[in-house]
A and B are shown apart, each in its own frame.
Chain A
Amino acid sequence: MTGEYRVRLEIFEGPIDLLLYLIRKNHFEIFDIPISTITEQYLQYLDLMKNLNLDIAGEFLKMAASLMEIKSKTLLPVEEEKSEETADPRSELVQRLLEYQRFKDAAERLSEKSQLGWHTFTRKGAPAGSEPSEEVIEVSIFELLDAFKKILEKFPSEMVQEISRDKITVAQKIDEVVEKLKNSDRLRFMDLFQDAGQLQEIIATFLALLELIRLKLLKVVQLEEFGTIWLYSTEKIKGADIVKEGALNGSQ
């Protein structure tokens, strides 16, 4: 398939974020998480990431292990008398999730504050901190993976065993996406996959997308949670040469 092409994920969120995402998506009650359902879904995401050749950070695997440990504990019969003293095996996880959510929330409130060098300025002009730095990724990787999963599900399954004709490379797809974004300022995520004929092509397109995000050539934005995903080109995309260079470096 896309062979040695690997996309690094370190700029994206970690396992706790993934769990919180799944909880919100399923409307689970945080103090009563159906542990086997969430473990199953969590592992599905891990599989998906693996299939896409994404480097999965060790933390994701560690979390998978502790989820399975909790699951096995909940399956053990609890003695009636002891049950009240024995803590819920999930409580430590819940604690971690909430503690993390607490700071995630604090971070969100920070980002809503009026910032020097963006909303307000001093006589100095731009403050020292405002050299170009990383761009914000508005949509989380999980949201993207979710959207990608939906596309895969729609794809006829008998086409999975594809006789490889012309090999579609990620680099090719990067060029294509760049071309599309040059013509229009924004694209719908779904539209990228509309005329994909092979599964290989879909995967290559998705990897191209991740690479472009990593290179900060495009931004992925949603106007409401779980809404339509939009791709916006950043200024950088106008220099197509940078794209190829960057893509090559990124694949090493």
Chain B
Amino acid sequence: MDLNDLKGIIESLIFVADSPITIDELKNIVDGANRKEIEGALEELVAELNSLNRSFCIEKVANGFQLRTKETYANWIRKYLNTKPARLTRPALETLAVIAYKQPVTRTEIESIRGVDSGGVIKTLLERKLIKIMGKLEVPGRPLVYGTTRDFLELFGFKDIKDLPTLKDYEDLAKELMDKKINGIENMELDPENNSMIGAESKTEKDEKMDEKNNSKEAKNGSN
């Protein structure tokens, strides 16, 4: 099969697919090409799209390939879709992290790490299809074990479960605890509803940060 034909077919399939399309799926459909040819065509396709500098690109997520928009355009798309922030709460993210790294894992194990009841959060994660019940553990009581789903990989854009960053070791964590100044809060959008604020007024945000510093000093002196 001609390489250009193959690229066109693959591109059209990725375009219509509802979820990341895998090489196996592509191979089943494009019967005139072998795995190696498909992989080669995909590689070229990705490179071509990137060189065109379009608003979207083909990304490898959840063991498959998917067309995704670039982050630069997120504000506009959100405005169009009128979506609410679907961001996970801290407890939900924590529980999800425990499950992702420890799977298959029981609720008891999750709770012993987190130190709090996690039933409600597990339920929410199940409802959002980010985790699933993988079965029962063959021990007394036969507790359920949980694991992450394909949706989880898609949500965070992981290629596969091995793509998760490695956990930090205790020594590094201890060091960080000693001199950690800023946490992830800075990276969060403060006002997701008001798109113009995030884009257009980034300068004033910085200025405000300076104010924050002064204010916190004041607060410490008790003059606030």
Q: A113-B157, A129-B151, A133-B128 are in contact. Are A121 and B92 (CB under 8 A)?
A: no
Q: Is the Cβ of B178 less than 8 Å from the Cβ of A29? A: yes
Q: Mark B185-196, 1 if CB is under 8 A from A, else 0.
A: 111101101000
Q: A96-B115, A107-B97 are in contact. Are A118 and B178 (CB under 8 A)?
A: no
- B2 in contact (CB, < 8 A): no
Q: Which residues of B contact A15 (CB under 8 A)?
A: 115-116
Q: A129-B86, A190-B224 are in contact. Are A116 and B177 (CB under 8 A)?
A: no
Q: A11-B91, A57-B116, A135-B89 are in contact. Are A101 and B177 (CB under 8 A)?
A: yes
Q: Is the Cβ of A98 less than 8 Å from the Cβ of B173? A: yes
Cα distance, A181 to B165, chains bound together (Å): 40
Q: A118-B85, A225-B182 are in contact. Are A190 and B219 (CB under 8 A)?
A: yes
Name the interface residues of A121-171: CB closer than 8 Å to any CB of B: 121-139, 150, 154
Q: Mark B82-105, 1 if CB is under 8 A from A, else 0.
A: 011111111111101110110000
Q: Is the Cβ of A225 less than 8 Å from the Cβ of B155? A: no
Q: Which of B46-54, B62-70, B132-140 contacts A (4 or more CB under 8 A)?
A: B62-70
Name the interface residues of A77-119: CB closer than 8 Å to any CB of B: 96, 98-119
- B24 in contact (CB, < 8 A): no
Select which of B83, B97, B129, B219 is within 8 A of A117 by beta carbon: B83
- B215 in contact (CB, < 8 A): yes
Cα distance, A57 to B120, chains bound together (Å): 14
Nearest chain A CB to B81's CB is how many angstroms away?
A: 5
Which residues does A use to contact B, with CB under 8 Å?
Answer: 10-11, 13-17, 20, 23-24, 27, 29-31, 57, 59, 63, 96, 98-139, 150, 154, 185, 188, 190, 221-228, 232, 235
